[in-house]
Copies of this chain bind each other. A is one copy, B any other.
């Protein structure tokens, strides 16, 4: 597989569409983050991903991770350690970290752009640094002073990495069932005992120490989710002065054999009176975990985006190269024995589907990442709060849509290659196997949909949706006379109205029967996702047709064709999802019990 970071489109989205520097300028120290600086960073990041990371991807899948029973330790695929060392040497682990702790203080959004490249280059490898960011977040918001000072600098330097330990054998989405226990020691630390499963990067040989962020119950904890506390449990014990001691009794018991993501170690982790430190107040662990979780969910959405992009690039190259049959309207390459398959409309439909979802998804991810910047760094509480409300609303949409679309788009990648797509040699099938986990971990699509409709819409009076619809309304208003994008603006405005109406309709029904929320949730999420992407596609069309646009005519033409394709061929998926939402709960509740008996 080959990968070239789509820097032109990344820059277009970040600067021309979203005007990131105007947001950076509002943040303390952010005026120094110029377009030139960001571009230079991304150029270096692209080199790392293209040259160092991409070549490790297929190897990692073939080799997988190995668990040694004797030493209870995990070895990652051969090439991974070298890539990680070069990642650390390049300073990438601390890119967005707080300078107080040795980070480089770049906006999170710059980190997310770089992250897209990582996920294209090797999504399995990317899981090792992925959860370190979450650990830093949790420590920053909920850790004590000494915890921040001891742990954060070494995570930012890449010397240590982090994990999230939530799931137990009988407890996946339902954290209230958790059993892992924490007993207090006299010195203020705790003894953690229990078994966690599906722990991504739970053990590996890339970093010197691993910080497990673990959910567990204190002895006197109330039942259910209100009795869960969060602890940091290092693989090697860490004293308050930062000195590293002996091995802590936390170790992998086995690793899973998975459909894909084989370079990423998915561990059963056994905690046997392992020493840990409480993070945040007792019994409030879920709060701390949600901080990590939201970061991780946005990150998984970016995994989806990265997979869409890499699959597209490789399918496109094949489609231009492979000669097979003639165009229906007559030969395009009469000099050759057949036309390249890219002349066939349905091959184009598949490629354009990948391309359009990639470009719309990029705008959605980068926009969300800019909200992260506002939430974490803006000094005005009102601005912070608004950004947080938009971000909370968009996170489940971004996570679920980009991962569901990643499965679809990586499947298109296989289909474009035909039989060659199905064999390992070409790499396309690996991408679909890797993609398949993304709709499951960090909360399934179903959980995202309930988070969106149950919590963010019903539970919070749709505050995030209202902000977002306000923004869409303003965009449509501003560009109501913009002839270059008139059909897109009209379509977005019409869909925004329908979105609002659908939301009201569900609210009315849900007041009668709470099951209506569950019955509508996934279709509502897809509906929301396609309209959200339509809005971003319209903004991309607007940016590309602006008089001040400085890119090439070719880029503008390509962008407009992609936006047009999105509105013509992809946005109509809302028709089916709106019908699904409106079908209501009946065919999923009472009458269906007989069928599934």
Residues of B within 8 A of A444 (CB): 415, 418
Is A239 interfacial (CB-CB < 8 Å)? Answer: no
| Cross-chain contact of A329 among B513, B554, B576, B587 (Cβ < 8 A) | B513
Contact (Cβ within 8 A) A514 B569: no
| Cross-chain contact of A198 among B348, B419, B592 (Cβ < 8 A) | B419
Is A562 interfacial (CB-CB < 8 Å)? Answer: yes
Stretch from A46-54, A83-91, A171-179, A468-476 that touches the partner: A171-179
Residues of B within 8 A of A519 (CB): 345-346, 349
Residues of B within 8 A of A589 (CB): 345, 348
Contact (Cβ within 8 A) B437 A422: yes
Contact (Cβ within 8 A) B572 A518: no
Scan residues 505-525 of chain A and give those whose CB is less than 8 A from a CB of chain B. 513-515, 517-519, 521-522
A260, A414, A572 pick with most chain B CB within 10 angstroms:
A572
A interface residues, how many (CB within 8 angstroms): 98
Residue-wise interface mask of A (301-331) relative to B, using a CB-CB cutoff of 8 A (1 in contact, 0 not): 0000000000000001001000111011100
CA of A596 to CA of B562, assembled, Å: 9
Contact (Cβ within 8 A) A594 B338: no
Contact (Cβ within 8 A) A579 B575: yes
Residue-wise interface mask of A (335-372) relative to B, using a CB-CB cutoff of 8 A (1 in contact, 0 not): 00110001011111101100100000000000000000
Contact (Cβ within 8 A) A338 B436: no
Contact (Cβ within 8 A) B446 A347: yes
Check A436/B446 contact, CB under 8 A, given A316-B596, A352-B592, A596-B355.
no
Residues of B within 8 A of A433 (CB): 259, 433
Residues of B within 8 A of A554 (CB): 594, 597
Contact (Cβ within 8 A) A173 B587: no
Residue-wise interface mask of A (563-584) relative to B, using a CB-CB cutoff of 8 A (1 in contact, 0 not): 0110011001101100110010
Contact (Cβ within 8 A) B568 A346: no
Residues of B within 8 A of A425 (CB): 256-257
Residues of B within 8 A of A170 (CB): 323
CA of A352 to CA of B580, assembled, Å: 14
Name the residue on B nearest A575 (C-beta).
B575
Name the residue on B nearest A572 (C-beta).
B579
CA of A337 to CA of B517, assembled, Å: 23
Is A441 interfacial (CB-CB < 8 Å)? Answer: yes
Contact (Cβ within 8 A) A173 B418: yes
Residues of B within 8 A of A352 (CB): 587-588, 592, 595-596
| Cross-chain contact of A561 among B177, B522, B587 (Cβ < 8 A) | B587
CA of A342 to CA of B198, assembled, Å: 22
CA of A419 to CA of B443, assembled, Å: 10
| Cross-chain contact of A338 among B177, B266, B407 (Cβ < 8 A) | B177
Residue-wise interface mask of A (447-491) relative to B, using a CB-CB cutoff of 8 A (1 in contact, 0 not): 001000010000000000000000000000000000000000000
CB distance from A164 to the nearest CB of B (A): 13
Residues of B within 8 A of A260 (CB): 422
CA of A355 to CA of B587, assembled, Å: 13
Residues of B within 8 A of A289 (CB): none
Contact (Cβ within 8 A) A588 B172: no
Contact (Cβ within 8 A) A446 B518: no
Residue-wise interface mask of A (174-196) relative to B, using a CB-CB cutoff of 8 A (1 in contact, 0 not): 10110000000000000000000
Contact (Cβ within 8 A) B562 A346: no
Scan residues 178-219 of chain A and give those whose CB is less than 8 A from a CB of chain B. 197-198
Contact (Cβ within 8 A) A594 B557: yes
CA of A329 to CA of B437, assembled, Å: 29
Check A258/B424 contact, CB under 8 A, given A348-B592, A569-B580, A572-B579.
yes
| Cross-chain contact of A515 among B345, B560, B562 (Cβ < 8 A) | B345
Is A167 interfacial (CB-CB < 8 Å)? Answer: yes
| Cross-chain contact of A348 among B349, B414, B588 (Cβ < 8 A) | B588
Is A129 interfacial (CB-CB < 8 Å)? Answer: no
Residue-wise interface mask of A (388-429) relative to B, using a CB-CB cutoff of 8 A (1 in contact, 0 not): 000000000000000000010001001100110111110001
Is A591 interfacial (CB-CB < 8 Å)? Answer: yes
Contact (Cβ within 8 A) A346 B429: no
CA of A494 to CA of B70, assembled, Å: 67
Contact (Cβ within 8 A) A436 B440: no
CA of A352 to CA of B587, assembled, Å: 9
CA of A411 to CA of B568, assembled, Å: 27
Contact (Cβ within 8 A) A327 B422: no
A327, A338, A352, A418 pick with most chain B CB within 10 angstroms:
A418
Residues of B within 8 A of A557 (CB): 591, 594-595
CB distance from A404 to the nearest CB of B (A): 10
CA of A436 to CA of B170, assembled, Å: 31
Residues of B within 8 A of A436 (CB): 411, 414, 422, 429, 432
| Cross-chain contact of A423 among B167, B258, B432 (Cβ < 8 A) | B258
Contact (Cβ within 8 A) B561 A329: no
Name the residue on B nearest A585 (C-beta).
B345
A-B contacts, 8 of them at CB < 8 A, read A172-B418, A173-B418, A256-B424, A257-B424, A259-B433, A328-B517, A349-B519, A422-B440
Nearest 7 pairs of A and B residues by beta carbon: A572-B579, A345-B518, A575-B575, A259-B429, A561-B595, A345-B519, A557-B594
